[in-house]
Amino acid sequence: MALDTMQELFLNELKDVYNAEKQLVRALPRLAKAAQSPQLQKALTKHLRETEGQVTRLERIFRGLDQTPRGKKCKGMEGLIEEGKEILEEEGAPEVIDAAIISAAQRVEHYEIAAYGCLRAYAQLLGNSEADRLLQETLAEEEAADETLTTLAEGGINQAAVAAGARDEE
């Protein structure tokens, strides 16, 4: 697809993030299942539900543009999820694995925050206030998910991982 106009760039990036969100809907349950901390499991499961809603929001934006919702393989998300899977294949202390899951999940959230920030800016430039509103709702969820992960890491999970390492060395 040619990128001659901002409208085309907007559509192109919508397709990318639509595919990215759908990849995440498949990947988040695995991450949640691998987490030991109940709070981390809960946060990942909550964000799975939100992610499903984000897919629906993107479909509304496509329809508002008279486009059939269609994704375009997001290689960035594919790579981030691939790295997440590598963590799940590792043996190790569950507390350290939890810290690693948070790190992987935060990379995903930051990637999405960048994508939605750009999409919102394009929607505004293009005068598409409906898309801007929907994208902002999703962006707020991504930012909140990221903050929850930071709170969990700082609120005990990283500390538990340090303790697990000390235990391992005894």
Considering the rule CB under 5 A, would residue 14 count as an interface residue with Zn ion? no
The nearest distance, CB 17 to Zn ion, in angstroms, is: 7
- What's the rounded Cα separation, in Å, for the pair 89 and 169? 22
Q: Which does 54 bind (CB under 5 to 8 A by kind): Zn ion, Fe ion, none?
A: Fe ion
Helices and strands, number each (H, E), in the chain: 6, 0
In terms of DSSP H, where are the helices of 65-128? Answer: 75-89, 94-125
Considering the rule CB under 5 A, would residue 112 count as an interface residue with Fe ion? yes
Helices 129-152, 94-125: inter-axial angle, 10-degree rounding: 160
Considering the rule CB under 5 A, would residue 142 count as an interface residue with Fe ion? yes
- What's the rounded Cα separation, in Å, for the pair 13 and 33? 30
Site for Zn ion in 61-80 (CB under 5 A): 74, 76
Q: Which does 74 bind (CB under 5 to 8 A by kind): Zn ion, Fe ion, none?
A: Zn ion
- Region from 12-20, 37-45, 143-151, 158-166 binding Zn ion, contact rule CB under 5 A: 12-20
Among 10, 14, 15, 16, binds Zn ion (CB under 5 A): 16
For 46, residues 6+ apart whose C-beta sits below 8 A from its C-beta are 145
Are the CB atoms for 140 and 120 separated by under 8 Å?
no
Looking at beta carbons only, is 96 or 149 nearer to Fe ion?
149
Considering the rule CB under 5 A, would residue 54 count as an interface residue with Fe ion? yes
Structure tokens at 89: 């294949």
The nearest distance, CB 4 to Fe ion, in angstroms, is: 28
Looking at beta carbons only, is 25 or 160 nearer to Fe ion?
25
User: Which residues are at the interface with Zn ion (CB under 5 A)?
Assistant: 16, 74, 76
